[in-house]
Chain A
């Protein structure tokens, strides 16, 4: 019995080891496999892309550090895209640590090139980067060699704001539907909302062109759909962790409850592809793909072994 236990333990350790290497090696030696764009991610992209410049939009940072690998690349791409299109980005959080997540994204995207250490610049291919129209005032970010755009000219309170965290989930969203200014009288740093130019003419949720929730669970995207869309008829889209993505697919329907969805790292990589960048999600997709192939092989091997064992047991019973 102990031999079997030891054998099973070493088998498991071997599988973990192989999986570890399968994830690690493509990070060191990227392959550059392509990612196809799904219709749901295209819907999110179109929503942002077709919204007129100058529109105020809201991004809800409903996640914490444990889900950063999946949701932060989405946040970076979305804010990048929104700023490219000249949107004013208002950030809120239904999770306490979402405030810091929003600050991280803003500070990374607004860092001037001199503030970026060489360690931050990944060595990635840049051939896919779309040609940007330099004459367009809305699209004048500093494009660094790694294709991560920097918007050092974007100013807090004018181009973006972080209103911070508010507990209450659905109640908070409903209160925002009635009056955002009363729900968030100050931003996360204590600045009165009336002194922030970005908030001029923003009173209700309906004053926003669209809402995107980056959601790691509850409260999150579901509450935004239920209240912001179904009650206040504001366009809602989102990105979620891969675990919760299937649960949101029924909301993409002819009622337009949800206008597109980015599911997990793959969704983030698809958005990066639409943006013409090779960002943090795209870099990790090689590891993701290889790990999936290996897991499929393991499942196949496990099933074959199981069938063989059962056949042997049946033959042994027949002999008796």
Chain B
């Protein structure tokens, strides 16, 4: 029985894979079907998972088993229910309150973490002694970091027109930015090819059994 189910699963996977690939020719009903199945399944999986692994253990069970100790949990529970009021247009405005709590809390928490990690620590990481490691490659690498950081940031300085001497660091900054965009593009290509490899491997191994 298990083998039959596996075989059916593989064939469904093959059908959906080819349906998605068919978009390379043109948009078509097979592609749209596969796309909608994917979106629907992902949403349904997430919904059920959150009910059983977030709501039940973190809200329903503690509240129902020991209300006196866990009554505070009712507040986020009510806020969660208010979020769902959006589906009833006359009472839609009520959902703005839980949304405000979520946005305010997230912004407050994130601000401090981002300030420390992406601002303070990143600036501190640029303040380096270029001669700390006595090797030609390390020293040149350190100078490149300093030059690239200063020129890259200067490119986004818009309070003075960038012309003449003031344009030079900006142009150097553009080069650094372009190189980083190129690296990002290269990595993106690698990621997409990796996904294609994954799909072709599935077709060759699980479906056609050509490779082991």
A residues neighboring B (CB under 8 Å) = 9, 12-13, 16, 19-20, 23-24, 27-28, 66-70, 96-97, 99, 118-123, 164-165, 167, 170-171, 174, 186, 188, 225-227, 230-231, 241-243, 245-247, 250, 253-255, 257, 263-266, 284, 287-288, 291-292, 295
Chain B residues with CB below 8 A from A70, complex form: 191, 194-195, 198
Size range of the interface on B? 35 or more
Contact B193 A292 (CB under 8 A): yes
Chain B residues with CB below 8 A from A171, complex form: 109
Chain B residues with CB below 8 A from A27, complex form: 197, 200-201, 204, 211
Contact B200 A243 (CB under 8 A): no
Q: Tell me the dominant secondary structure on chain B's binding face.
A: helix
Contact B197 A23 (CB under 8 A): yes
Docked complex Cα distance between A186 and B114 (Å): 31
Chain A residues with CB below 8 A from B24, complex form: 12-13, 16
Docked complex Cα distance between A263 and B183 (Å): 12
Q: Which residue of A lies closest to B110 (CB)?
A: A170
Q: Tell me the dominant secondary structure on chain A's binding face.
A: helix
How many A-B pairs fall under 8 Å by CB? Answer: 135
Contact B121 A287 (CB under 8 A): no
Contact B187 A243 (CB under 8 A): yes
Contact for B209 among A119, A120, A164, A165, CB less than 8 A: A119
Q: Is B1 an interface residue (CB 8 A)?
A: no
Contact B50 A96 (CB under 8 A): yes
Docked complex Cα distance between A177 and B58 (Å): 19
Chain B residues with CB below 8 A from A174, complex form: 109
Contact for B210 among A16, A28, A225, CB less than 8 A: A28
Q: Is B7 an interface residue (CB 8 A)?
A: no
Docked complex Cα distance between A177 and B139 (Å): 37
The interface stretch among B91-99, B122-130, B156-164 is B122-130
Contact B109 A69 (CB under 8 A): no
Contact B180 A246 (CB under 8 A): yes
Q: Is B88 an interface residue (CB 8 A)?
A: no
